Amino acid sequence: MAETGTPNAARPAERPSRPRVGLFVTCLVDLMRPSIGFAAVKLLEQAGCIVEVPEQTCCGQPAYNSGDRETTRAIALRTIAAFEGYDYVVAPSGSCAGMIRAHYHELFADDPNLARRADELSSRTYELLNFLVDVLNFDDFGAEFDGEVTYHDSCSGLRELGIKAQPRRLLAGVKGLKLVEMAENEVCCGFGGTFAVKYGEISNSIVEKKTANVSASGAGTLLAGDLGCLMNMAGKLSREGKPVQVRHIAEVLAGMTDTPPIAAAPPKGRG
């Protein structure tokens, strides 16, 4: 991919033959959908990486979006320390990767040493799909998926990191899968982290338009690269009674679709 001027355009000059990757799992994946983390590990290992998961916490985005810079700095310092020494840091989330790449520097602008460490981490941090395609140039995972899917371009990944072509290149290699583009696929789903909490009525209005476009596409499955967006859209689709399955793209690429879709009712006899 040509240089775009986005934060993810910068990359180390030389790539190790077997990169040592620190997986930034993300809070939502850890607490709500661990299968995405396992899928990310499988994809990265299949692409030739050594994957490790250091002890970690949040990227700091909720505190940052709420204006709490002191808490955000404390969280960012823990993240910087946790991921020192890795060739790359990879997150299955455009919003978390975007937080590190686009916003960590300003947190430490008054401290040259900490700003340098933040910049160093930022230069090694990538969203999963961006890393697989643009850094590793790997897009053939031998995956199969029988059915039509539509794809939502999450705001942070698209606008902060320039992630648009990468998921489509990866999906093009999945045997049996047909991508059907929904209308306004680049428009926000209404989640926005704390935005959905602060402005619930506006958030609901936005996601209502999104689910209408999802349904109108005719696809049986909705994919995206950010769990927050997926949970928001899956919840709305479920409440509307629309029979669309919702999954993270990593689960499809890794062939790990035995797990029930997001927001699906638990199997009978459970829960």
CA distance 69 to 77: 12
- What pLDDT digit, counting tens, does each position of 110-133 carry? 999 999 999 999 999 999 999 999
Burial (CB < 10 A; 0-12, 13-18, 19+), residue 70, is: exposed
Mean pLDDT across the stretch 194-223? 94
pLDDT tens-digit readout, 69-99 = 999 999 999 999 999 999 999 999 999 999 9
Report the candidate in 204, 209, 214, 229 with the shortest Cα–Cα distance to residue 98. 229
Q: What are phi and psi of 144, to 5 degrees?
A: -130, 145
pLDDT given at position 265: 66
The mean pLDDT of 172-199, rounded to a whole number, is 93
Nearest to 210 by CA among 242, 172, 231, 182: 182
Three-state secondary-structure class, residue 169: helix
Q: Is residue 196 very low, low, confident or very high in pLDDT (cuts 50, 70, 90)? A: confident
Banded model confidence at residue 9, pLDDT cuts 50, 70, 90:
very low
Which whole-number Å values give the CA distances from 263 to 20, 194, 234, 238, in the listed order? Answer: 34, 20, 6, 7
CATH code linked to domain 144-253: 3.40.50
In the chain, domain spans: 18-135, 144-253
Tell me the HSE value of 14 on the side-chain side, using a 13 A CA sphere.
2
If one compares 271 and 233, the residue with the highest pLDDT of the two is 233
Strand order in the sheet with 20-23: 50-52, 20-23, 88-91, 125-127
Tokens standing for residue 105? 């520097």
> Of residues 206 and 17, which shows the higher confidence score?
206
Structure confidence at residue 267 as a pLDDT band (50, 70, 90): low
What SS3 state is found at 252? helix
* Angstrom distance (rounded) from CA 41 to CA 30: 13
Question: Per-residue b/e over 143-156, b at no fewer than 16 CB within 10 Å?
Answer: bebeeebbbbbbbb
Average pLDDT over the chain, rounded to whole? Answer: 92
User: Tokens 């020192």 correspond to what residue?
Assistant: 84
Read off the pLDDT band of 6 (50, 70, 90). very low
Average the pLDDT over 65-71 and give the result: 95
